[in-house]
Amino acid sequence: MSAQLGDPLTPELRDILNNLAAGLFGLDAWVKEPAKYLPPNQNLPWRATGHTFTPTDLAVIPFFENLLRESSGDDDLGVRWGTVAADPLRYSPLPNPTAWRKNRGLADVPKFGIVPSGNVWLTDAAGKTISRVTFYAQCWPLLGAVVGARQKVGPVDWAALASDLLNNAAPEWPITSQPPSAKFVIQFASDMLYGMLGMRSPAPEQWKRAILVELGEYRHPGNEYKREDASVAVKAFEKLAGLSN
Amino acid sequence: MEVADFVIVGSSGGGGTISWLLAKAGFKVVVLEQGTDLAQPLSDTVANPLDKKGNVEAESLKYNPYPHDEYRFRLERPDPKRRLRGEYNTFRSSAAANAAPFNGAWTASVLGGGSIIWGTWSFRALPIDFRLRTHFAATGQLDKLEKEWGYSIPDWPVSFAEMEPFYNVAETLLAVSGDRDAVTTAVKDSAWYQEFARLEYFSQAGNWQPDFPFPCEPYPITPVGDFFWQGAAAAGYHPVPLPSGMVTPGSPGYKTRAKIQEALKHNRPAGAFWKQSAQKIWSDRVRSACNLCGYCGEYLCWGKEGPKSGSRVSTIKELRDLHNAEIVTNAKAYEIIYDARTRRATGVRYLDVSDPDNPRTRVQRGKHVVVSCGAVQSARLLLMSGPSAGLGNNNDQVGRYAMFHLFGLGITATLPPQFQGILHGEFGHTGNTTSFETYFVKDDVTQTDTAGKWWKAGTMTSTAKKNPLENADGKLRGKSLIQRPLLTAMEAYNRTLEVRLTADDLPRADNRVDLDPVYVDEYGFPVARITRNFGPNEQLMFQLVESKLRKVCDLYVKKGILKQEKDVTFGKAIVDLIGDHQMGTCRMGDDPATSVVDRNCRLHDTPNVFVIDTSFFPTGFGLNPMVTTVANALRVGTWIVEQSKRGKGLD
């Protein structure tokens, strides 16, 4: 399995990730719950008889591959932040920043705190800013080992596998590994959510908004409404709340 | 431009407004904005990916999906809109604690500043806000607030009457939608107003009956706004449509010039600038009506003709027509150049961070400097400039009296499953209806010496939940939810709304911004350190307002829809939840010993430097500061023009 930039995920890894995404969310069981909210539009392809609704329908893995590519610059930023952390005044434009600091009563030894400030997305165990592609590259062999072990004893229960990863409970992914499996699965689930709710996935138009439609969320890129739409919605609310006849 | 008359650092409601006025009056103006012009892609025509008809001739060319990406605008790091990539602040809760880097206290770092991503809640302050000291003296509470509790509560050096004509014009620039009569009536019907009206000073504090209509009709009521409206009315409160800086949906478009004309006709501000006709003052641009798309607060409005108000679609746009004005983006100011011999600023040194790995040092010379970076960054810039103690800081006042409002204070109600898909949080911006009932709250809760008295709080406003991805990501990361529990949380979010109290945190000298002694940014400059804690007034507020906020839900409890304990949660303010409402830090006052700028927002000790953002606020109100910031920028700009026309120097 390879996940270098510009080198797409292997078919094998794509399959694993599609299955893991399915196990993370359980979309099919959710939309088939009898008591679940029913969207007003009944003509929804993911609810079609015989269809099993999974994140694969939403093209989350092609989206994920694009995300790996477009966020790869974080590795360069990590190098930069490492340089600044080692020498926080290195890029100062002041002619003598040490003297300038002394004159203002500031500490002799400055620090660069960008990572604890939270203005970076991912870090490694040492606190270095890394890109998604670097983060996941550490995970693929471990994930492969977990899946491989389960495949040897029968069909994989992907929901159970997802739970085990979340709980750092997969023996093939030792708790001492970096990153631990929980960190991996949370990041992966986060990226899947972006694919499913962010509406940037390459899925066909109606499918892009499937999860939002199932949640009763109507905002989407390009939407627009009129005053009358708000008025109709207010009336529906008042009727349901017993505020009007 | 080699030497500008005014170098203006920052482009939001303060800097963006005064830069236009000064340039329009003929001064040579350079605006330095540290961020990019994030909205520039919206000026490019792109095919609408949603248009299946292949019709690229008309509407499809107007749509750009870029600003409708919830991840990019709510989650992405480095944050593309608030912080430059290597920037941060530090926070501590007392002077005795060590400060640590945190993710708060940034307003937008883009052209247009906070006015491009603000929530558009467009209140003008009330007359009492300018006379809070007088008020508490009249009620006998001032000694407790100041001597016992440690606050410093001044009256504003300027009066409501001085501000009023500028409020009118500011509302036209911001295309505020609303119902003036309803707002006035709601204020007057509030219990605190009824109580205070008998005080001698009260009627002289200012005009409590403004009759200049809002320039736009009220924004449509949404289900979330209606939830609050019905509940508040049933509780005996007085709800009104939230005044909003949006061109009202369904209107044929907004002609700023015509509205300025009405404002001038109604109550023309003094000064030669305002003697001009509206045709001379403003172009014939027409702004388009809001289409209720729902990507407002924290997002760029994608409407090219500016349905959502902010400096970029109004004053900055007008400024770009002028040959004597220049806007420089990616210009990170790090020093106001100061000549100690003459006690004057001579310009601004900045980094051109267009290529942030290889920044270039630049100098913009100027006869005057206007600082408008937000109250945190303005204080930082002053403290990094001039003498070792900082520019304008002869009396150790810069950075003090920082105020941030009580963010996080409010109730959250989650309706039962039958309301799935009913609230339609997508309509318009986050706020919709509001009430002044809690502008002051009576202590009918405690048995202490605060009982029976009225204490300062703020407006309460209905607030929709609009960001399902951000919520889901938070539940995943914060509570490790996956599978059905995560989907359950996502479902509940759709049925949830808030009633937020934008309450005042009263000014205290120890709540301040200074230079962090240890932490630096990417370019080795000390970051801003924020020291903040809640005082007794804020702690009291947390006790007093819960029952008043919960009353909004009583109607729904009676109908069996909500259960207070199970479905409605009360949240106190969070001390390090610091956002766009940044005030104080460069207090305006007549006494240099206790303030930083004079009544015209000039530094007492360097009078060719102005501070024009919310930093100058002596007190913080209990409402969004944008309208007051714009109005004050107009007031100060007008004063500058007048001084110049009379041949009087500014220093």
pLDDT over 80 at B59, yes or no: no
* Chain A contacts in chain B segment 276-305 (CB below 8 A): 291-295
Cβ separation of A37 and B421 shorter than 8 Å?
yes
Candidate from A40-44, B195-199, B348-352 with smallest mean pLDDT: A40-44
Residue A245's pLDDT is what? 66
Asked if the model's pLDDT at residue B185 lies above 80, the reply is yes
The average confidence (pLDDT) of chain A is: 94
Which of B487, B494, B496, B529 to probe by mutation at the A interface, max A CB count within 10 Å? B487
Q: Count Cβ atoms within 10 A of the Cβ of residue B252 and give its class: 0-12 exposed, 13-18 middle, 19 or more buried.
A: exposed
Which long-range contacts link A234-241 to residues 24+ away (Cβ below 8 Å)? A234/B221, A234/B222, A234/B223, A234/B226, A236/B223, A236/B422, A237/B223, A237/B226, A237/B227, A237/B419, A237/B422, A237/B423, A238/B226, A238/B230, A240/B418, A240/B419, A240/B422, A241/B227, A241/B230, A241/B556, A241/B559, A241/B561
Q: Do A105 and B524 touch (CB under 8 A)?
A: no
> What is the C-alpha to C-alpha distance for residues A140 and B325, in angstroms, rounded to an integer?
55
Omega prior to B78 cis, within 30 of 0: yes
Q: B293–A121: do the CB atoms touch at under 8 Å? A: no
Select from B472, B491, B556 the Cβ nearest to the Cβ of A193. B472
B241 touches chain A (CB under 8 A): no
Q: What average pLDDT does this structure show over B140-156?
A: 98
Task: Grade residue B651 by pLDDT with cuts at 50, 70 and 90.
Answer: low
**Quick one: three-class SS letters along B536-601?**
HHHHHHHHHHHHHHHHHHHHHHHCCCCCHHHHEEEECCCCCCCCCCCECCCCECCCCCCCCECCCC
pLDDT digits (tens, 9 = 90+) for A133-146: 999 999 999 999 99
Segment 520-549 of chain B within 8 Å of chain A by CB:
520-527
Mean pLDDT, rounded, for B394-419:
98
pLDDT recorded at residue B50: 47
Residues of B in contact with A169 (CB under 8 A): none
Closest partner residue to A104 (CB to CB) among B68, B388, B519 is: B388
> What is the reported pLDDT for B67?
83
Average pLDDT for residues B526-532, to the nearest whole number?
Answer: 98
Residues B245 and B423: their CA atoms lie apart, in Å, by 22
Interface of B with A in 204-223 (CB under 8 A): 220-223
Q: Do A186 and B480 touch (CB under 8 A)?
A: yes
What does the pLDDT average to over B373-383? 98
Could you give the CA distance from residue B123 to residue B625 in angstroms, rounded to a whole number? 8
Q: Which residues of B touch A109 (CB under 8 A)?
A: 518
Kindly determine whether residue B293 and residue A225, on different chains, have CB atoms separated by under 8 Å: yes
- The predicted model gives A67-78 an average pLDDT of 94
As given in the structure block, the two tokens for residue B224 are 């979330």
Give CB contacts under 8 A, 24+ apart, made by A195-200: A195/A55, A195/A58, A195/A59, A195/A60, A195/A63, A195/A64, A195/A67, A196/A25, A196/A55, A196/A58, A196/A60, A197/B70, A197/B468, A197/B469, A197/B472, A198/B69, A198/B70, A198/B71, A198/B469, A199/B68, A199/B69, A200/A63, A200/B69, A200/B71
Tell if the CB–CB gap between B86 and A84 is shorter than 8 Å: yes
In angstroms, what CA-CA distances link B116 with A142, B107, B245, B300, B597? 45, 10, 11, 6, 27
Nearest to A114 among B49, B63, B86 (CB): B86
The C-alpha of A86 sits at a distance from chain B's nearest C-alpha, in angstroms, of 12
Tell whether B610 is within 8 A of chain A (Cβ): no
- Report the percentage of chain B scoring pLDDT > 70: 96
3-state secondary structure of A13: helix
- Residue B46: which pLDDT band, with cuts at 50, 70 and 90? low
* pLDDT for the residue A77: 96
pLDDT, mean of residues A36-62: 96
ipTM score here? Answer: 0.97
Tokens of B511: 């709540």
Whole-number Å distance between alpha carbons of B435 and B441: 13
Mean pLDDT value of segment B121-129: 97
pLDDT band of A184, cuts 50, 70, 90: very high
User: According to the model, what pLDDT value does residue A3 have?
Assistant: 42
Nearest CB to B226 within list A37, A93, A238 = A238
* Separation CA B433–CA B225 (nearest Å): 5
Q: How far is B136 from chain A (nearest CA, A)?
A: 39
Could you tell me which residue, B62 or B171, shows the higher pLDDT? B171
Residue B55 has pLDDT above 60, yes or no: no
Q: Look at residue B63 in the predicted model and tell me its pLDDT.
A: 64
The predicted model gives B163-191 an average pLDDT of 98
pLDDT at B287 over 50: yes
Range in A217-226, B366-375, B530-539 with the lowest mean pLDDT:
A217-226
CA within 13 Å, CB half, B242: 32
How many Cβ atoms from other residues are within 10 Å of residue B65's Cβ?
A: 16
Give percent above pLDDT 90 in chain B: 92
Instruction: Please report the pLDDT score of residue B44 as a whole number.
Output: 66
Q: pLDDT, tens digit, for every residue of A217-243?
A: 998 888 889 999 999 999 999 999 999
If you write DSSP's letter for every residue of B151-205 in order, what string do you get? ---PPPSS-HHHHHHHHHHHHHHTTEE--HHHHHHHHHHSHHHHHHTTSTTGGGG
Please state the rounded mean pLDDT for residues B542-555.
98
Chain A residues with CB-CB distance to B295 below 8 A = 219
Please determine, for residue B196, whether its predicted confidence score (pLDDT) is greater than 50: yes
Q: Which residues pair with B498 in a beta bridge?
A: B412, B463
Q: Is B98 on the interface with A (CB under 8 A)?
A: no
Given an 8 Å threshold on Cβ–Cβ distance, is B292 in contact with A229? yes
B179, B218 Cβ separation under 8 angstroms: yes
Contact A193 B473 (CB under 8 A): yes
Query: Cα separation of A194 and A208, whole Å?
Result: 11
CB contact under 8 A, A119 and B87: yes
Domains detected in chain B: 1-38+81-118+310-404+583-651 (3.50.50.60)
Mean pLDDT of B598-605: 97
| B88-118 pLDDT per residue, tens | 999 999 999 999 999 999 999 999 999 999 9
Q: Is B636 within 8 Å of B601 (Cβ atoms)?
A: yes
Which residues from B are below 8 Å from A205, CB to CB? 50, 52
**Per-residue pLDDT reduced to its tens digit, B5-32:** 999 999 999 999 999 999 999 999 999 9
